[in-house]
Each structure stands twice: as C-alpha cells, then as structure tokens.
C-alpha cells in the first residue's frame, strides 16, 4: 500500500479476516477479506493499494478476478493517469509469478474483497422428443409385416399340404418324409412369397428413394426367416421337435379318425397363429399413427395389450377347442397323437394338449412380431397370460 504525500497523518492498518461482506448477485468472494485503515486521500492524489491473490485460489487469468470495496464492484480507471477516476478504480492487473496482482487507486480505505463471477451450471438441454415415423416409414413397416405374415401363412399351408399328402400315402410314393416335405417348397410357393417381401422392401424401404424407419424395422431377410422358422416351430410344437417322425403321424388308411384328429389340430393352430399375427399388425398400423409412438418402447406398450384381450384371437382359440373336441372325442392318450406336447403336465388330457397348442400359436405370433420389428414384447405373458418362462 502506498499513501501519497500530502495526505492527512494517521495510522495505517491492514488485516486479513474471514469474509464479512456479502457479495453482490452474480459473484462469489474468494480467499479472505482485507480490511484497511488509512488516512484519507483524494481522488487526484489517491491511496495506491496493491493486492496479491495466489493462483491456487484465483487461477492464472488476471481478468477473471474483480475487486470489491465494501461489497461494491470496483471498475477500471478511465481518468488521467494516477487519478482515482472513478473513485475507486482498478489501474492495473497482472500475473506476477504465482499471484494475481491487482492495483487499486482510491481516496479512502475500507474492506476489500476478491471476487469472480458465480459459476453457472450449463443447463442440460432437454432433447427434443424423437419424431414419429413419417408416412413413408409407416408404409414400410406395414408392408414388411403384411408380407411377413403372408410368408408365414404360405409356409403353414405348405406344411398342412404335406400332412394331408402324408395321410393319403402320397409322400411315401415319392419316398419323402413329412419333415423333408415341410422344407421342400415343392411348388415354390414359399420362395415366391419371400421374393415379394424383398421386392416390397426395395420399393417401400430402401434408400435412396426411401428413408428406412429408425425403429420397428429389420428388413426382408430377417422377416422372411422369422416367418418360415416360426411356421416350422408351430408344426414341431404339435408333432414333435426337432424332427417330426413319420412314425408319429397316422395315415388315413391306417386310422382315418386319428388322421382327421391330427389334421384338425394342425389346421386350427395354423389359423390361430395367422389370426394373432393379423390382429397385432392391425393394432400396429393404428399405433404408428399416434404421434407419441416414436420408439420401440412406445410401440411395445401399445401392442402388448393385443395379447391380453382380443375378441378375434379368442374366437379362434375357442374354435380350436371346439373343433378338436369334435374330431378327437375318441382320444384317450392325446400326447401320443400329438407328441410335440411339452407343457409339463404328466398324463395330460385332451384339453391340456389343446391349451398347450394354443399357447404355442400365441407364443409363435409374438416371437415373430419381435423378430419382424426388432421389438421386445413380453411373449411369456402373451402365450398363456402367465409369467412362467413358457415362451422365452
């Protein structure tokens, strides 16, 4: 500190204390408060106060630190050199070795503080919600689902033709097993359906003409594979996995009634799975028009309810039970006729087997939707409305 010549005589005292002054809004005080007592001077012949604040407290940028007199911000000097104009004012700032040095001109001493602007947390931007699918993207998803269901239906019908031909003795004449028949695609019906899926992807989904959907979309290859594999899985769920043995099937010549019973179960299960897929696709078309459906999760919430309650699915479930009850009334040991039964109940009756096949059809429909659209529907709840790990 420097007291100018000509100032009134008196004692100079400098003390560092805890901060007592309140910083103005927008600033925080640093270090300690410096309280100075000195003889009064004038603005034209001011006191010269040199403050040093260690860089461990203040950092290394002199311009980042402000001075405050009695809690009031001190501005830069703008008058003649050596004058406190305004009074008080900062005449210089510098980084000197390990200190920020600030020189102040003032006519009076007081309580002084170092301050810096209050750190303002950078607000985290709330991301804008993702947009829903465009009309073109919805069309892409709907086309993939429609064609996936078609491929599944064609494969299931092909499996039913194989069952009929086995029962009539046609496959044995061709020296073809039932299991081989289901994957032979004898008249290229499955191949043609799969090619149509690929063509619709090219027309409705592929760039540069289209922008693929950011969710609920995989592509024709995934859709076709899931559709075919799912149809074969339902067949195995009824007649045995991983391979359906001809010895487990019955020809009409050997036992006409049992052959009809097996055919009825497969035919009803095929229609149930196809209907479940159709109803979920219908619900999906409506859900994708909702602007709040902008992610897999939002879509899943809309679709899960279809498996909880749907009149058409329930109608085909009841149709399976009634049809099989009628055609299989004579059956005493149903798991011998339907060796795919794997629902765990020992010595099942016909209704147990029917419920197991219904669950397999519902499970298959749910798994295919997940595969078609890369979703994560709770298929364990979808198959029998129970969390029991029956549909992984």
Give pLDDT tens digits along the chain (392 positions).
777 776 666 788 999 999 999 999 989 999 899 999 998 899 999 999 999 999 998 889 999 999 999 999 999 999 999 999 999 999 999 999 999 999 999 999 999 999 999 877 677 777 788 899 999 999 999 999 999 999 999 999 999 999 999 999 999 999 999 999 999 999 999 999 999 999 999 999 999 989 999 999 999 999 999 999 999 999 999 999 888 999 999 999 999 999 999 999 999 999 999 999 999 999 999 999 999 999 999 999 999 988 888 999 999 999 999 999 999 999 999 999 999 998 888 999 999 999 999 999 999 999 999 999 999 999 998 888 888 888 87
Q: What is the largest CA-CA distance in the chain?
A: 133
pLDDT at residue 8, rounded to an integer: 65
Enumerate the β-bridge partners of residue 17. 33
Instruction: Please name which of 104, 106, 110, 108 lies closest in space to residue 40, comparing C-alpha atoms.
Output: 108
pLDDT, position 7: 66
Cα R_g (the chain), whole angstroms: 42
The strand order across the sheet containing 27-37 reads 13-17, 27-37, 111-117, 66-69, 72-73
């Amino acid at each position: 500190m420097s007291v100018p010549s000509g100032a009134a005589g008196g004692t100079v005292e400098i003390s560092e204390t805890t901060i007592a002054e309140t910083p103005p809004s927008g600033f925080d005080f640093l270090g300690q408060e410096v309280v100075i007592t000195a003889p009064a001077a004038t603005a034209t012949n001011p006191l010269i106060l040199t403050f040093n604040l260690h860089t461990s407290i203040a950092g290394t940028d002199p311009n980042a630190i402000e001075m405050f007199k009695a809690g009031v911000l001190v501005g830069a000097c703008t008058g003649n050199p050596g004058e406190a104009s305004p009074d008080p004012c900062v005449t210089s700032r510098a980084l000197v070795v390990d200190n920020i040095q600030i020189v102040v001109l003032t006519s009076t001493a007081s309580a002084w503080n170092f301050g810096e602007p209050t750190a303002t947390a950078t607000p985290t931007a709330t991301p804008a919600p993702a947009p829903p699918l465009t009309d073109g993207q919805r069309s892409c998803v709907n086309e993939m689902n429609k064609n996936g269901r078609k491929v599944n239906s064609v494969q299931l019908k092909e499996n039913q033709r194989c069952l009929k031909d086995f029962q009539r003795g046609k496959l044995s004449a061709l020296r073809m097993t039932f299991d081989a028949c289901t994957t032979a695609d004898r008249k290229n019906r499955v191949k043609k359906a799969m090619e149509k899926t690929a063509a619709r992807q090219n027309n409705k989904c592929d760039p540069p003409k289209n922008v693929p959907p950011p969710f609920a979309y995989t592509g024709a290859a995934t859709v076709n594979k899931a559709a075919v594999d799912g149809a074969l899985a339902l067949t195995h769920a009824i007649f045995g996995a991983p391979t359906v043995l001809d010895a487990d099937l019955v020809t009409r010549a050997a036992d006409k009634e049992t052959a009809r019973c097996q055919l009825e179960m497969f035919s009803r299960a095929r229609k149930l799975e196809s209907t479940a897929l159709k109803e979920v696709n219908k619900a999906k078309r409506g859900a994708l028009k909702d602007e709040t459906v902008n992610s897999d999760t939002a879509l899943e919430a809309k679709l899960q309810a279809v498996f909880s309650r749907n009149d058409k699915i329930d109608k085909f479930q009841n149709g399976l039970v009634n049809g099989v009850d009628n055609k299989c009334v004579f059956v005493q040991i149903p798991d011998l006729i339907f060796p795919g039964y794997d629902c765990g109940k020992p010595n099942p009756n016909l209704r147990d087997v029917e419920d197991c096949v219904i669950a397999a059809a519902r499970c298959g429909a749910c798994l295919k939707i997940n595969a078609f659209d890369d979703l994560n529907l709770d298929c364990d709840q979808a198959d029998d409305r129970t969390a029991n790990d029956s549909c992984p």
